[in-house]
Copies of this chain bind each other. A is one copy, B any other.
Amino acid sequence: MSARATTRPGGRSARVQQSVHQAVRDLEAEVGRDALTVPLIAARAGVTPSTVYRRWGDLRELLSDVAVERLRPDGPPADHGSLRADLEAWAVQFAEEMASTVGRTYIRDALLGDPEQGNAVRCSDYAAEQLKAIGVRAAGRGEGVPDVETLMDVLVAPLMYRILFRPSDLSEAYTDWLVASALGRGAAPSAAKS
């Protein structure tokens, strides 16, 4: 995300962001992605095109900003009673969401409209925050917890890499195995390049 898109909640800037994002989502559903233009979006949002250009730079950067908002988790990860169960459930859901057609589109949008990588970092931080929350909960139960950067390497990175570069069967057996690896045990099944 460019510095232009920073907002204070509740201010005019936040209202503009909200209405422009909403316009993108609505128009994407109505006319399709390929028909989106800045003037069309601005008209629907009730702002001038120059407001959009000034704030987001161009259509690609705007789509990247919208994508990152959509990739933001809705709430804290579900509590299944143990670190392993929480990580397994989180990994299944993460893999499903990110590997879906919509998820892939958002990931690409987030990466590609973002020459300074701020949006990609936000996506990565969303995952890290969820894993941190799972870890804090596990530590509260007295469980030993791998550090977050290790979880990013062992659990998140292979899923995102396979989604972007290496079409694979991201089955529950595979995500369970990643979790087992992250927890320091488990022998590898073949990692399922499809």
Contacts and interface: CB of A to CB of B under 8 A. Distances in A.
Nearest to A187: B184
A152 interface: yes
Contacts of A146: 188
A120 interface: yes
A166 B152 CA distance: 9
Interface in A153-174: 153-154, 156-158, 160-162, 164-167
A160 B165 contact: yes
B165 A123 contact: yes
A152 B191 CA distance: 9
Contacts of A129: none
Q: What 6 pairs between A and B have smallest CB-CB spacing?
A: A149-B191, A157-B161, A124-B165, A153-B158, A157-B157, A157-B158
Interface in A86-129: 108, 111-112, 117, 120-121, 123-124
- Number of copies of chain A assembled together: 2
A150 interface: yes
A192 interface: yes
A147 interface: yes
Interface in A179-194: 188, 190-193
B166 A161 contact: no
A65 to B, nearest CB: 16
B108 A165 contact: no
A188 B147 contact: yes
A156 B121 CA distance: 19
Contacts of A111: 108, 111-112, 164-165
Contacts of A162: 157
Contacts of A121: 165-167
Contacts of A166: 120-121, 124, 152
